[in-house]
């Protein structure tokens, strides 16, 4: 038996305490060793489904997180949560930290979750068996007993290239879902996809069980012939847990994270049939072509501007698939085309594409002008044959502008009294009494009457007021007005900037109204009181000076206004009606 040396105990008490402390630490350290382990909720899943990976450290972690980068090679990380717990039981404290990571495998087969490292500790690898997802032509309702399942279907079994295909996706759930549901975006290779409105929510009873239904509709336009694959979509949601199991990461709500994958759908896409070569390929349920006129094309006058709007609508095509519309070129007619206006009208039945094209026509000579007929070939997908959308030939009748005869000169004012005669009256009845002649001073009376006549004439001229502009006679057109008008038309055709256009407009209005050159556009516009011109100027000024982006008015609009104002000037022989400028 070994006994401690009393001399050592007495001489080195501090050394003994250190030795005993080290021995105790070495003895209890295996019991206090840190651990970091990994686990999954299942090891067999199908491609597209998710698995929950739980990483647990046996102590509380507030500032340190595990390195998840090794997972990126074979998995998609859909989400992660962290929770720390600390409990005391019978005087013993226990703490741990969990990281829950939602993973979705990128491939089928045996997929390994690699070791994850935290503060020098590594988890063991975990092997998952991932089954392949089966591709189908249509998703059957075979799993209606599941709390959440997906159906998808197409409105046809085959289609032509660029023809609209309606894809209807329905998500059924028999359990309540929290508001964190998400559906992956539908992307199809070699196809254009447009969602038709917002999801539609309704309910449906299946095998005696009421299901909530989210329904989405898509319009798909294949861009090449051959087999088209509509890929799976992933629907993730949190389902309420009726067993009362609370998830601490869902705000204390009982729930289970779900990920449901729809099946692939395949459809055969046919090439465009013979007869479409060299022409736009327009497969649609219906295509129409119509026209609208701003006035009567049979009652135009020289200088009039009339706007023709062509409208093309295609049921089953987007506006981007429709051919451009152009103005007709006819000798004797000046055409001023506007930019096309396009729009897609979406409904549950599909997309209705629309193109509007406006062009203003101005005739420079009287006569009859013919706009040629129009025809657009399209393919009727309901009947499986080509059809034509047509517009007949249109005739424009242009009459000469009526001009007034010259305005007669203004009559001169007549004297109030006839001028007195100074010639002596002779004859048998003439008085010959000499005394009478000396009593009446006729020369002085004649001079007085002449002075009165002159004073009356001067007073009349001073009292005469200038006539209001609306009534003042003036030549129908002047050379200055003609020059300013041509400059304004050229500015419209050249699509000059807004300030320059308004400057040309001010100069022409000043010439038309025969106003001083320093009159502002605002004052000319106020005196003219033309509703259309006022609206154009206000819209132009808003597009120039508004802090927010505003659309600019079209040049064809101004062209029609100025031709109308000029025609009114010619028809009346004077400027358009103005307010009186003088009292």
**Following DSSP, what letter does each residue of 142-156 receive, concatenated?**
--TTSSEEEEEEES-
Inter-residue contact 128 to 111 (CB < 8 Å): yes
Indicate whether 201 belongs to any domain. Answer: yes
Indicate whether 2 belongs to any domain. Answer: no
- pLDDT > 90? residue 454: no
Q: Last residue of a domain, which of 215, 238, 270?
A: 270
Q: Which residue has the higher pLDDT, 557 or 398?
A: 398
**Phi, psi for residue 310 in degrees, rounded to 5:** -95, 135
Among 120-134, 156-170, 178-192, the minimum mean pLDDT is found in 120-134
pLDDT-derived band at 476, boundaries 50, 70, 90: low
pLDDT-derived band at 131, boundaries 50, 70, 90: confident
Can you give the pLDDT at residue 310?
Answer: 96
Are residues 155 and 123 part of one domain?
no
Indicate whether 138 belongs to any domain. Answer: no
- pLDDT > 70? residue 187: yes
Are residues 362 and 297 part of one domain?
yes
Average pLDDT over residues 540-551: 64
Q: Exposure pattern of 375-392 as b/e (b: 16+ CB <10 Å)?
A: ebbbbebeeeeeeebeee
Q: Going edge to edge, which strands form the sheet with 385-391?
A: 283-284, 374-380, 385-391
Which residues face 236 on adjacent strands? 182, 259
Indicate whether 473 belongs to any domain. Answer: no
| Selection from 257, 253, 237 nearest residue 245 by Cα | 253
Which pTM was predicted? Answer: 0.56
pLDDT-derived band at 323, boundaries 50, 70, 90: very high
- pLDDT > 80? residue 344: yes
Indicate whether 168 belongs to any domain. Answer: yes
Q: Range of 258's domain?
A: 148-270
Can you give the pLDDT at residue 14?
Answer: 57
Say if strands 374-380 and 394-399 run parallel, antiparallel, or are unpaired: unpaired
Number of domains within the chain: 4
DSSP letters, 517-570, are TT--HHHHHHHH--HHHHHHHHHHHHHHH-SS--PPPPHHHHHHHHHHHHHHHH
Q: Which residue has the higher pLDDT, 448 or 150?
A: 150
Q: Please tell me the distance from the alpha carbon of residue 38 to that of residue 40, in angstroms, as a whole number.
A: 7
Can you give the pLDDT at residue 299?
Answer: 87
Can you give the pLDDT at residue 543?
Answer: 73
CATH of residue 186? 2.60.40
Average pLDDT over residues 58-67: 80
Indicate whether 445 belongs to any domain. Answer: no
Are residues 524 and 488 part of one domain?
yes
Q: pLDDT by residue (tens digit) across 196-254? A: 988 888 888 888 888 999 999 999 999 999 999 999 999 998 887 654 444 444 444 55
| Selection from 565, 467, 464, 490 nearest residue 524 by Cα | 565
Helix or strand holding residue 505 (H, E): helix 498-512
- pLDDT > 60? residue 437: no
Packed helices 479-493 and 555-572: angle between N→C axes, nearest 10 degrees: 160
Residue 530 φ/ψ region, left for φ over 0, alpha for ψ in the -120 to 50 degree band, beta for the rest: beta
Arithmetic mean of pLDDT over the chain? 78
Q: Please tell me the distance from the alpha carbon of residue 321 to that of residue 261, in angstroms, as a whole number.
A: 33
Q: Last residue of a domain, which of 399, 421, 444?
A: 399
Query: CA distances (Å), 365 to each of 304, 305, 331, in order?
Result: 10, 13, 10
pLDDT-derived band at 24, boundaries 50, 70, 90: very low
CATH of residue 122? 2.60.120.570
Are residues 256 and 160 part of one domain?
yes
| Selection from 192, 206, 59, 97 nearest residue 141 by Cα | 206
- pLDDT > 50? residue 287: yes
Q: Please tell me the distance from the alpha carbon of residue 466 to that of residue 431, in angstroms, as a whole number.
A: 50
Q: Please tell me the distance from the alpha carbon of residue 536 to that of residue 543, in angstroms, as a whole number.
A: 11
Are residues 261 and 159 part of one domain?
yes
Among 242-251, 373-382, 529-538, the minimum mean pLDDT is found in 242-251
Indicate whether 442 belongs to any domain. Answer: no
Percent of the chain at pLDDT > 70 equals 72
Inter-residue contact 538 to 552 (CB < 8 Å): no
Among 137-146, 265-274, 424-433, the minimum mean pLDDT is found in 424-433
Q: pLDDT by residue (tens digit) across 84-124? A: 777 776 777 778 888 889 888 988 889 999 999 988 899 99
Q: pLDDT by residue (tens digit) across 138-170? A: 444 445 668 899 999 999 999 999 999 999 999
Q: Last residue of a domain, which of 69, 98, 131?
A: 131
pLDDT-derived band at 550, boundaries 50, 70, 90: low
Q: Please tell me the distance from the alpha carbon of residue 415 to that of residue 394, in angstroms, as a whole number.
A: 63
Indicate whether 361 belongs to any domain. Answer: yes
Are residues 325 and 225 part of one domain?
no
């Amino acid at each position: 038996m070994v006994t401690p040396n009393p001399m050592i105990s007495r001489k080195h008490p501090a050394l003994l305490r250190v030795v005993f402390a080290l021995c105790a630490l070495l003895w209890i350290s295996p019991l206090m060793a840190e651990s970091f382990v990994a686990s999954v909720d299942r090891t067999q899943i199908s491609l597209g489904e998710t698995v929950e990976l739980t990483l647990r450290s046996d102590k509380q972690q507030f500032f340190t997180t595990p390195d998840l980068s090794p997972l990126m090679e074979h998995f998609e990380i859909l989400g992660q949560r962290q929770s720390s717990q600390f409990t005391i039981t019978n005087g013993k404290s226990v703490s741990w930290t969990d990281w829950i990571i939602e993973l979705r495998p990128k491939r089928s087969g045996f997929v390994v979750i690699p070791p994850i490292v935290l503060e020098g500790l590594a988890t063991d690898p975990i092997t998952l068996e991932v089954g392949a997802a089966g591709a189908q032509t249509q998703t059957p309702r075979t799993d209606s007993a599941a709390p959440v399942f997906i159906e998808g279907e197409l409105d046809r079994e085959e289609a032509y290239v660029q023809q609209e295909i309606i894809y209807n996706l329905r998500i059924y759930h028999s359990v309540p879902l929290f508001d964190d549901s998400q559906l992956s975006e539908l992307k199809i290779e070699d196809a254009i996809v447009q969602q038709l409105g917002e999801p539609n929510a309704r309910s449906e009873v299946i095998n005696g069980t009421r299901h909530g239904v989210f329904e989405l509709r898509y319009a798909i336009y294949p861009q090449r012939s051959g087999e088209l694959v509509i890929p799976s979509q992933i629907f993730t949601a949190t389902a309420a847990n009726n067993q009362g199991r609370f998830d601490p990461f869902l705000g204390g709500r009982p729930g289970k994270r779900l990920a449901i994958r729809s099946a692939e759908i395949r459809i055969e896409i046919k090439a465009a049939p013979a007869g479409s070569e060299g022409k736009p390929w327009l497969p649609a349920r219906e295509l129409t072509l119509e026209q609208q006129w701003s006035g009567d094309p049979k009652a135009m006058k020289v200088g009039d501007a009339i706007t023709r709007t062509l409208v093309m609508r295609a049921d089953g095509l987007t506006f981007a698939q429709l051919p451009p519309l152009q103005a007709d070129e006819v000798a004797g007619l000046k055409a001023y085309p506007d930019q096309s206006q396009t729009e897609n009208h979406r409904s549950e039945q599909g997309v209705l594409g629309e193109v509007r094209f406006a062009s203003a026509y101005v005739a420079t000579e009287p006569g009859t002008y013919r706009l040629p007929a129009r025809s657009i070939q399209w393919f009727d997908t309901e009947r499986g044959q080509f059809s034509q959308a047509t517009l007949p030939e249109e005739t424009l009748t242009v009459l000469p502008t009526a001009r007034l005869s010259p305005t007669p000169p203004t009559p001169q004012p007549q004297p109030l009294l006839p001028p007195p005669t100074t010639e002596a009256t002779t004859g048998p009845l003439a008085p010959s009494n000499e005394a009478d002649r000396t009593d009446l001073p006729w020369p002085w009376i004649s001079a007085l009457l002449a002075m009165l006549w002159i004073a009356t004439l001067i007073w009349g001229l001073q009292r005469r007021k200038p006539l209001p502009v609306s009534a003042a006679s003036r030549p129908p057109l002047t050379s200055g007005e003609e020059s300013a008008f041509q400059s304004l038309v050229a500015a419209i055709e050249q699509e000059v900037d807004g300030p320059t256009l308004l400057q040309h407009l001010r100069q022409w209005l000043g010439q038309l109204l025969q106003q001083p050159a320093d009159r502002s556009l605002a004052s000319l516009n106020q005196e003219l009181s033309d509703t259309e011109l006022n609206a154009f100027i206000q819209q132009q000024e808003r597009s120039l000076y508004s802090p927010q982006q505003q659309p600019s008015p079209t040049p064809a609009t101004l062209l029609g206004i100025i031709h109308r104002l000029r025609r009114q000037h010619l028809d009346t022989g004077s400027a358009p009606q103005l307010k009186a400028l003088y009292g």
